[in-house]
Amino acid sequence: MNPQILATEAPATSNFASFDTPAVVWVGLLVLVVTLLLFDLLVVHRRPHAVLFREAMIESGVWITIGLSFGLFILWWQGGQAAGEYYAGYLIEKSLSIDNVFVWAVILSYFAVPAKYQFRVLFWGVFGALVLRAIFIFAGVALLERFDWLLYVFGAFLLFTAWRMVSGDDEEIHPEDNPILKLVRRVVPSTPTYHGQHLFARVDGRLLATPLFAVLIMVEATDVVFAVDSVPAILAVSREPFIVFSSNAFAILGLRALYFALAGLKDRFRYIDYGLAAILAFVGVKMLIANLYHIPIPLSLVVIFGLLAISIVVSLRADKREENELSDIPARKDPEEPDEM
């Protein structure tokens, strides 16, 4: 039989890394993730404190180093194809997490969460996100293996999401209008005051939820929304559950540090949504044409990183140009100030 015919008839999944992951490796990954989380909670942030920009940048650097280092383990274990898919998935999740961070900033600001308590609620938010992503990932992989046509549904959905991000529909987020928050306040007895960094507190003999509990529910709810975008996007570059989950996990682990580093910088990244939309559109097209042409992983990495970098650079240059224009405007003279002789 003609080998060319075999190549054209090969399923799209043959273009991706595929391997059997021993149970001990899965256990090792989960132990590593839980250990890192507990070390961050019980050692690095044992005492509640406001995380300053410098500390957040250092922690972000550490988390990124850990994530990139795990890719080297996959390179040693399964080779370049698997490592390339891991780095592509990691970069996609890290990029899309930027929008997630800005939404967190709106939620924490609305609830006026004291700075020194923000880390604890985001810790539990990240923990819940890992569980939710695992469910989404294994369900997504199983569905794609059974129903090939879902590839086109995911691709079209990513294109629609990209269009929505750049269509000018940038309505402000109003947490008070969220139906989940309204349901929580109606069902769960709550107190309007904070009690340290506790999610629940006993008041007058009654166990009540503190505002931090509502914040946690809101954080988890928004993560479900973002997972609907990010998980199909990562499935465009890998179908191996171990790669998809590990790249997601290590990108998410650094979200708290990324929040404290970027939460106040949204206005400086005015074009970041265009870059993220372009990334979603790219992976959406990659899914739609997967059965016709498989875009190589190295090219995917270059395109994803390039789109993100361009949006950041253009945003910073626009800010710089605006600052220069403002500095060129002469100061308005006080009409009561006498003229200099």
Residues 113-171: tens digit of each pLDDT:
888 888 888 888 888 888 888 888 888 888 887 877 887 888 888 888 888 877 765 55
* 71 vs 337, more confident: 71
6 located within any domain: no
Give the model's confidence band at 177: pLDDT under 50 very low, under 70 low, under 90 confident, else very high.
Answer: low
208 located within any domain: no
Return d(Cα 33, Cα 249) in angstroms, integer: 8
pLDDT at 6 over 50: no
What pLDDT was estimated at residue 84? 93
What pLDDT was estimated at residue 219? 84
Average pLDDT, stretch 231-246? 90
Give the model's confidence band at 331: pLDDT under 50 very low, under 70 low, under 90 confident, else very high.
Answer: low
* 81 vs 108, more confident: 81
Give the model's confidence band at 32: pLDDT under 50 very low, under 70 low, under 90 confident, else very high.
Answer: very high
125 located within any domain: yes
Which of 33-47, 188-202, 235-249, 327-341 is predicted most confidently?
235-249
Cα–Cα distances in Å, from 7 out to 3, 85, 292? 6, 21, 11
pLDDT at 30 over 80: yes
69 located within any domain: yes
265 located within any domain: yes
193 located within any domain: no
User: DSSP letters of 93-132?
Assistant: HHHHHHHHHHHHHHHHHHTT--HHHHHHHHHHHHHHHHHH
pLDDT at 172 over 70: no
Sign of CA dihedral 133, 255, 29, 49: negative
196 located within any domain: no
Output the average pLDDT for the chain: 81
What pLDDT was estimated at residue 249? 92
Average pLDDT, stretch 203-225? 83
Return d(Cα 16, Cα 335) in angstroms, integer: 72
pLDDT at 261 over 70: yes
Task: Return the closest-CA partner of residue 314 out of 280, 272, 276, 279.
Answer: 272
Q: Report the number of distinct structural domains present in the chain.
A: 1
What pLDDT was estimated at residue 1? 42
pLDDT at 267 over 80: no
pLDDT at 9 over 50: no
Return d(Cα 99, Cα 156) in angstroms, integer: 21
Which of 35-39, 219-223, 231-235, 331-335 is predicted most confidently?
35-39
341 located within any domain: no
What is the DSSP-derived secondary structure letter of residue 194? Answer: -
Residues 53-89: tens digit of each pLDDT:
788 889 989 999 999 999 999 999 999 999 999 999 9
What pLDDT was estimated at residue 166? 79
Give the model's confidence band at 5: pLDDT under 50 very low, under 70 low, under 90 confident, else very high.
Answer: very low
Range of the domain at 139: 21-169+215-320
Q: Which residues touch 13 (CB under 8 Å, ≥6 apart)?
A: 144, 145, 239
pLDDT at 332 over 60: no
